[in-house]
Amino acid sequence: MLADADPGRLAKVRVIGIGAAGADGDDAGIRRLAGFVRERWGWDAAITSDVVTAHLGAFAGAPGTILIAGTGAVAGRVDPDGTWTRSDGWGPWLGDEGSGRWLGQTGLMAVVRSADGRGPRTALEEDARAVAPDLVDLPRVVASGADVARSLAAFAPVVLARAAEGDAVAARIVDRAARRLARTAESVTSAGGAVSVVGGLAQHPSFLALLVARLTALGLAPRKPAGSALDGAALLAQRRDLPHERNVLRDTLR
């Protein structure tokens, strides 16, 4: 992206805000990244987790809870004093409940149960045969890619579509996903607290409506995101007086 940017505009940059996946657990890695930015472009760098930049964008720098529902799932609350509280985000093997990966995997598990006669019939079985015509090959096909979680998440839109069409099995899975995501947000949010939902699943109107209903039923206050993670990264570069600051590493030349 930077390679395509206008050189004249790049020459005016003094500091760049970066939201990096896994930054909250890799101090050495983000320091290396900051060093690369300094050596490559001569810029100051403000680096934090991509969850923090998503929060910054969603709340325009204000406190609140963000619920990220994409391939993975995590909720993060920022308090006025800068305290950061997280729930889930444990990855595909230990958590990310209700995520796109969870939806896709749970849908495929329903497929194999249906094929075996261990579970109710579902139209998802037909969809799974588009992935692997012989369902015996399904585990190998799903695991053959470089990112198994993303491979499983690729089936999530199918589960959402079948649920919207009235498939009972898919509808139950989608409802369980919304409930689990809502509980994740509730675990870090006080009654009446604001929750902003972002991520790939939030782009599905019917699922977002269901999730908003579940959040509301738990006594939370869903609100539309004020901006994107990119907006959050820009805000990170511009300001140092926000409650997120304690979670930011700044590499400064000036």
137 part of a folded domain: yes
SS3 content of the chain, % helix, strand, coil (to 5): 55, 15, 30
Mean pLDDT for the chain? 88
Percent of the chain with pLDDT over 70: 87
- If asked whether residues 202 and 242 sit together in one domain, one would say no
Maximum CA extent, the chain: 67
Instruction: Give the model's confidence band at 206: pLDDT under 50 very low, under 70 low, under 90 confident, else very high.
Output: very high
Confidence of residue 253 (pLDDT cuts 50, 70, 90): very low
Checking if the pLDDT of 3 tops 70, the result is no
Asked if residue 138 belongs to a domain, the reply is yes
Say if 81 falls within a structural domain: no
Residue with tokens 């539309």: 224
Q: Does one domain contain both 104 and 211?
A: yes
Higher pLDDT, 32 or 224: 224
232 and 218 co-located in one domain = no
pLDDT digit string (tens) for 34-86?
667 776 666 777 788 888 899 999 999 999 999 999 999 999 999 998 898 99
Round to whole Å and give the CA distance between 88 and 30: 22
Mean pLDDT of 212-225: 97
Average pLDDT over residues 125-134: 92
Which H or E run includes 66?
Answer: strand 64-69
Write out the residue range of the structural domain in which residue 212 sits: 100-222
The reply to whether 217 and 238 lie within a common domain is no
Say whether both 11 and 56 belong to one domain.
yes
pLDDT at 10 over 70: no
Contacts of 80 (CB under 8 A, 6+ apart): 63, 243
Residue whose structure tokens are 């585990």: 139
Q: Structurally, how many domains does the chain consist of?
A: 2
- pLDDT tens-place string over residues 191-205: 999 999 999 999 999
Given a cut of 60, whether residue 2 has pLDDT beyond it is: no
221 phi, psi to nearest 5 deg = -120, 90
Q: Which residue has the higher pLDDT, 25 or 111?
A: 111
What does the pLDDT average to over 103-131? Answer: 95
158's CB contacts (< 8 A; 6+ apart) are: 104, 107, 124, 127
In Å, how far from its chain's centre is CA 66?
A: 10
Mutual orientation of helices 205-217 and 156-165 as an angle, nearest 10°?
80
